[in-house]
Structure 1
Amino acid sequence: MAAAENELKQGRSNLGARRTAVTFARRAAGMALNGALVAQADQGWASSRCETAWGRSYMDHLRTLADAADGSVEAREPFAEDDCLRCRELLAIPVMPPQGLVQLSAGRDQAASRALELAELIVHACAARIQP
């Protein structure tokens, strides 16, 4: 979880660079999901299930849970539908702004800010599942 928190911190310090901030947000969420997945072994999951349930990479974890929002409870276990919908929304944010738009200031990018908000919610949901 410390690695996920560090990714959030890095993302917040790069809010003027959408691609960088969104990438840090996705990494933070994925790292937290990985931590929650590892913790499932303490909840009775077989280690083989922990290693394969949501794929191998942080993006695989996000995609699997995003897809599970419409699926069965078992597919998204131990997360609620809202958590999966946050994963879906985070993945839907493009890392690059639409072509033809020129940002006139180096201020906060709204999409980057939303990505970091979502990632923070996902990280907190994961931390809540890891805490005894």
Structure 2
Amino acid sequence: DILEWDPNDSVVRGKYDQVQFEVRKAKRPNYYDIIGCSRVASVPEIKRLYKDRARELHPDKHDSEEVKAWAEERFKLLGEALGILTDELMRSLYDEGHDKESIQERVDAANRAARKDPREEQRRGGHHHQHDH
């Protein structure tokens, strides 16, 4: 029975994680399509295309409530696309197949690691000798 696999089995766990990753990858929005650029577009090019798209999609430009709701959703995705595709770390994670949540988890972890100041460690664990004069 497929439901009775051992969660400690690293091979099965690895396959399960890979399937989950592929499912999330398939569901994520295509930020390159949303912006309307190629996968090798430069940051200035992405920003320029973003501005063009933002003008077209701005919810205030539409009268019908239905179209306005659609435009708001696309506008939100457009902002996400800009944020991810103009950040080097986020873009490389996205290109590897990570979705927004997965990218955010990794960025948060990297920020936490960067905040751990090595000097803190020295103060706590290092030996400090005081000399009496």
Structure with the greater alpha carbon radius of gyration: 2
State the TM-score, normalizing by the size of structure 2: 0.33
With the length of structure 1 as denominator, give the TM-score of the two structures. Answer: 0.33
Q: Of the two structures, which has the highest relative contact order with CA contacts closer than 8 Å and spacing of 6 or more?
A: 1
